[in-house]
Amino acid sequence: MRLFKQFCLVMLGALMMTNALAENKGKPFSAMAVQLTPQGAIQTRVFITAHAIRNEYEQDGNKVIEIIYPDEQKRVLLFPADKAFIEQHAPNYPDRRVSVEDSPCAKLQGTLCKKLGNEVINDIETEKWEFSRVDKGRPVHTLHWIDPVRELPIREFFADGTVVEMSLLGNDTLEKRDVEKWRMQVIGTNRQRAQFLQWYDPELKLVIREEHPDGYVRELRDIKVARLKDSLFTIPKDYVRRTGKTVRQAPAIKPGTAKK
């Protein structure tokens, strides 16, 4: 199993918790990822497979394509107007999701996992795991209760005292798809509580809508489940590698400016 590889799609905040998308274990699909804020809307076209993610958006009149390869910890930015690309590597694309193929921290460098047993949390059968690592010379331990069927953590205790807990509210329909409605409760170190609503798609094995109490909404629309061409996730042969200083880069996306 794997934990913490993310709904990180790096669409600069436009994507859903690009924590679940970065390691999609469901069927390949395309969709429009939308983030609604009090200042406006941000959206990007996404293409998702088990091994790669493609984001397409327009910034200041220029098309930008982003491809993320979670297993390789790699991100590529394509600039069609320049026929150029930038390649970036990162130590991690965090994700709260897990996979039943191995232990939850199989790909977390410097982290050890220990299964402590099975427990029922909020009427959900879970596996209880302890994560251990060393941070600045001090041992850090966290606890995670993971639903092995949905591949989601149902309860998490973090070293700073933060607690995250999920509760299933029932079945629902969203985007003409059968989904589950969940409530996520976060208790911070100061004991303040925040609640979020999430709609989990069992076929795609990820959250397709999330509502924040401050009015922010992140969701996937126009979902189309279908096999995607490999060419969507490869760098065109006529593109030239550039550095960040020699290629036109899309600036940070401002609310309401990104388009389909």
pLDDT tens string, the chain, 260 residues long: the values are 333 223 233 333 333 334 445 445 668 999 999 999 888 888 899 999 988 999 999 888 889 999 998 878 789 999 999 999 999 886 554 444 444 456 777 767 778 889 999 999 999 999 999 999 888 889 999 999 999 998 889 999 999 999 999 999 999 999 899 999 999 999 998 888 999 999 999 998 889 999 998 889 999 999 999 999 999 999 999 999 987 544 444 433 333 334 43
* DSSP symbol at 105: B
Domain extents in the chain = 21-241
Separation in Å, CA 251 to CA 11, 33, 53, 149, 254: 12, 19, 20, 40, 9
Is the pTM here over 0.85, yes or no? no
* Cα–Cα dist 201/180, whole Å: 7
**What is the CATH number assigned to the segment(s) 21-241?**
2.50.20
